[in-house]
Amino acid sequence: MSFESLLFQAVNGLASASGLFLVAAGLSIIFGVTRIVNMAHGSFYMLGLYLAVTLAPLLGETVGGALGFWGGIVAAALVTAGLGALVEVVLLRRIYAAPELYQLLATFALLLIINDAALYFWGPEDILGPRAPGLSGSVEFLGRHLPQYDIFLALIGPIVLIGLHIVLTGTRFGRLVRAATQDREMVAALGINEAVLFTAVFALGTGIAGLGGALQMAREPANLALDLSVLGDAFVVVVVGGMGSLRGAYLAALLVAEVKALCTALGVVEVAGITFNMSRLTLVAEFLVMAVVLVIRPHGLFGRPQPAAARRGEAEAPLVPLGPRGRLVALAVLAFFAGIPLFSAFASYAPVLALDMVIAALFAASLHLLMGPGGLASFGHAAYFGLGAYGTACAATVLGLPTPLALVIGIATASAGAVLFGWFCVRLEGVYFAMLTLAFAQIVWSIAYQWEEVTGGSNGLFGVWPDPPFDSANGLYLAALAVTLAGLVLIRRLVFAPFGLALRAARDSRLRAEASGIAVEKVRWLAFALAGTLCGAAGGLFAFAKGSISPEAISVGRSIDGLVMVLLGGVNSLTGPLLGAGGLTLLQDMVMRESAYWRALLGLIILAAVLLFPAGLAGGLRRRRAP
């Protein structure tokens, strides 16, 4: 490593930090005032970049290159802010009163829709923007050449930070933002129109994100994967910096970006005879930064402890074991599923579809253990599905282990991952928990994507076929059914055991649970580990069912599928996620394979569900059933 490359990477890190900060700052301000974690925030960044690469050449033709470039950036930021305002008025306004989880889902649906809209307008290919006129050269510093545009970007972060600080402390709008961050109702009671304030704040936040994206025009091409990758990074920054703190966000962005830059600068290092390619470890570095900060300061560098989530909805009814009729129904359903191989003679597709449903059922049920009795909505359950799948696939192909043993290895991998990540996650609650779980899932996804030697990179692993007797559709299906049944029985026992009671107690009132001597974090940690373990089993079965595993199968979309299954079916009982898993699998099988825009379709389904049942789908149904 040379001094030049270190300096180069340091400036590069500062430039990246500015981009990260612009996204995280908007996310933080919007959350402060509206209490909504905008899952679509990365999408506005992506839109800003797409708009800039489109508008800059267009403007360039009429007003000249330089004016076109900078005008394009400004126009992209403004258009993004306008779209943000539109989204706030059309969508968010309807869901401010909905439970937190539904707000997260609704904005995630927005992410799916925006992504497909970008696919529709700009196509799947990466689009490169023009270089910055006047800033495409380099400057000499201490005898080294540094790119001018990176230096310009490095300055943007602090400039926006100071600008926002002046707006927040020196203007009436800023005072309103700070007041509303603390107490929206009281702001309204003073005669201030919240609706206008919210729209303005959302436009500001999305506009800053759009600006951040547009400014990247001269550095990276616009592509459709940006929304999620930026979102994951922004979550890490916000969690590390502390929600609601702008300087925390800047410092965290700096920390994350510089550590990554340092890893890249170090390149290949030899320690004690072992060579590490540090530039491949950037994601692990990101994780380590987050881990260290969260261990020392659980609420982030400048964060304050947040009040517990306000809107959990009504208390659930006490759980009761199944009566004789319920048992009969459960047995009948089981008998039906066990009998499906009999149909395979005239409907050969039956066991294949049923296998998908059974795997989805185990996946959804394991998430339900965390979400229902645990009250912890994980937005990154795909991580454990992925660890299970990759663990199994590696064991079966690379190590050539027999099928049952490979599955056990997969489950153990997921279990280890859940134990490790869970230790951090259970320190947080509510949206913070959701954000951190999503960030971890992004890290697992990136490792699968980047660690080509082991995971096969973007292509994934192939030829993961089970040995006899599991090599037939029926054989694998029956084995999966048995594993899933065992998982469901375990979850059912857990829920009624003292452990399940304690998990529910911690959900109902953490304060009371701790005052009673329940070690809330340990209970949640175990629940997290168990949920991850069972989810790993689903992932392992998935790898055998498809014969392959690729990063796409373990992306955030998988996590969201799980949430949709649990919520569509109902979070209050184990039956809900099972119905949801069956329903969504059928839907995906029948409808979504037919369309290139299945993401938008799923997004619209989620939005419809959230808007039609703003108090929660299960709650809505329960109220209807009530006399």
Partner 1 sequence: MTTPVPMLDIDGLDAWYGAAQVLFGLSLKVETGEAVALVGRNGAGKSTTMKALIGLISRRAHRLTLRGADISALPTHVIARLGIGYVPEDRRIFSDLTVLENLDLGRRRRAPGNTITDWSLEAVFDLFPHLAELRHRPGGQMSGGEQQMLAVARALVGNPALLLLDEPSEGVAPIVVEQMTLALTRLKASGLSLLVSEQNAQFCAAICDRAYTIEQGAVHWHGPMAALAQGGRSRPAFGPPG
Partner 2 sequence: MTAPVLKVSALTKRYGGVQALDGVSFAIAPGELLALIGPNGAGKSTCFNIVNGQLRPDSGHVRLIGSGTAGRDITGLAPRRIARLGVGRTFQVATVFGSMTALENVQMALIAARGQVFGLWRPARDLARQEALDLLEQTGMAAQAGRPAASLAYGDVKRLELAMALAGEPRLLLMDEPTAGMSAGERHDMIALVRQLTRVRGLAVLFTEHSMDVVFGHADRVVVLARGRLIADGSVEAVRDDPAVREVYLGGIPVGGRNER
Q: Which residues bind partner 2 (CB under 8 A)?
A: 314-319, 321, 493-494, 496-502, 504-505, 507-509, 511-520, 523, 526
DSSP codes of every residue in 45-78: HHHHHHHHHHHHHHHHHHH-HHHHHHHHHHHHHH
Footprint of partner 1 on 243-262 (CB under 8 A): none
Contact 585, 98 (CB under 8 A): no
The 8-class DSSP code of residue 551 comes to: G
Q: Which does 93 bind (CB under 5 to 8 A by kind): partner 1, partner 2, none?
A: none
d(CA 626, CA 514): 34
| 116-155 footprint of partner 1 as x/- string (CB under 8 A) | ----------------------------------------
CB of 172 to partner 1, least distance (A): 7
Single-letter residue type at 593: R
Indicate whether 220 belongs to the interface with partner 1 (CB under 8 A): no
d(CA 483, CA 540): 11
Q: How would you label 243-267 residue by residue, b for 16+ Cβ within 10 Å and e otherwise?
A: bbbbbbbbbbbbbbbbbbbbbbbbe
Q: Which does 512 bind (CB under 5 to 8 A by kind): partner 1, partner 2, none?
A: partner 2
* 33 versus 529: smaller Cβ distance to partner 2: 529
Q: Which residue of 52, 53, 111, 187 would you call a contact of partner 1, by CB under 8 A?
A: 187
* 277 versus 509: smaller Cβ distance to partner 2: 509
Q: Which residue of 24, 176, 358, 409 would you call a contact of partner 1, by CB under 8 A?
A: 176
φ/ψ (deg, to 5) at 256:
-65, -45
DSSP codes of every residue in 363-395: HHHHHHHHHTTS----S-THHHHHHHHHHHHHH
Dihedral sign for Cα atoms in the order 553, 557, 559, 560: negative
CA-based end-to-end distance of the chain = 73
Q: Which residue of 64, 66, 136, 193 would you call a contact of partner 1, by CB under 8 A?
A: 193
Indicate whether 182 belongs to the interface with partner 1 (CB under 8 A): yes
* 399 versus 497: smaller Cβ distance to partner 2: 497
CB of 527 to partner 2, least distance (A): 11
Q: Which does 500 bind (CB under 5 to 8 A by kind): partner 1, partner 2, none?
A: partner 2
Q: Which residue of 155, 186, 331, 347 would you call a contact of partner 1, by CB under 8 A?
A: 186
* 354 versus 520: smaller Cβ distance to partner 2: 520
* 312 versus 427: smaller Cβ distance to partner 1: 312
Task: Select from 183-191, 226-234, 269-277, 567-575 the region that touches partner 1 (CB under 8 A).
Answer: 183-191
Closest CA to 527 of 380, 384, 367: 367
Contact 178, 164 (CB under 8 A): no
The 8-class DSSP code of residue 124 comes to: S
* 51 versus 526: smaller Cβ distance to partner 2: 526
Q: Which does 504 bind (CB under 5 to 8 A by kind): partner 2, partner 1, none?
A: partner 2
Indicate whether 171 belongs to the interface with partner 1 (CB under 8 A): no
| Interhelix angle 282-296/430-450, nearest 10 degrees | 160
Q: Which residue of 90, 190, 271, 274 would you call a contact of partner 1, by CB under 8 A?
A: 190
The helix/strand count (H/E) of the chain reads as 26, 4
Contact 208, 25 (CB under 8 A): yes
Half-sphere exposure in the Cβ direction for 85 (13 Å, CA): 13
Q: What Rg value do the Cα atoms of the chain yield, rounded?
A: 25
Residue 74 has a CB neighbour count (10 Å cut-off) of 14
Closest CA to 144 of 10, 262, 256: 10
Q: Which residue of 140, 185, 270, 594 would you call a contact of partner 1, by CB under 8 A?
A: 185
Q: Which residue of 62, 172, 272, 318 would you call a contact of partner 1, by CB under 8 A?
A: 172
* 28 versus 559: smaller Cβ distance to partner 1: 28
CB of 500 to partner 2, least distance (A): 7
Q: Which does 316 bind (CB under 5 to 8 A by kind): partner 1, partner 2, none?
A: partner 2
CB of 33 to partner 1, least distance (A): 13
* 152 versus 173: smaller Cβ distance to partner 1: 173
Single-letter residue type at 555: S
Q: Which does 519 bind (CB under 5 to 8 A by kind): partner 1, partner 2, none?
A: partner 2
CB of 499 to partner 2, least distance (A): 5
* SS3 assignment, position 98: coil
- Extract the tokens encoding 548: 């392959």
Indicate whether 179 belongs to the interface with partner 1 (CB under 8 A): yes
Q: Which does 317 bind (CB under 5 to 8 A by kind): partner 2, partner 1, none?
A: partner 2
d(CA 101, CA 371): 10
Contact 564, 416 (CB under 8 A): no
Footprint of partner 1 on 301-330 (CB under 8 A): 314
Contact 280, 451 (CB under 8 A): yes
Q: Which does 623 bind (CB under 5 to 8 A by kind): partner 1, partner 2, none?
A: partner 1
Residues that bind partner 1 (CB under 8 A): 172, 175-176, 178-179, 181-183, 185-194, 314, 623
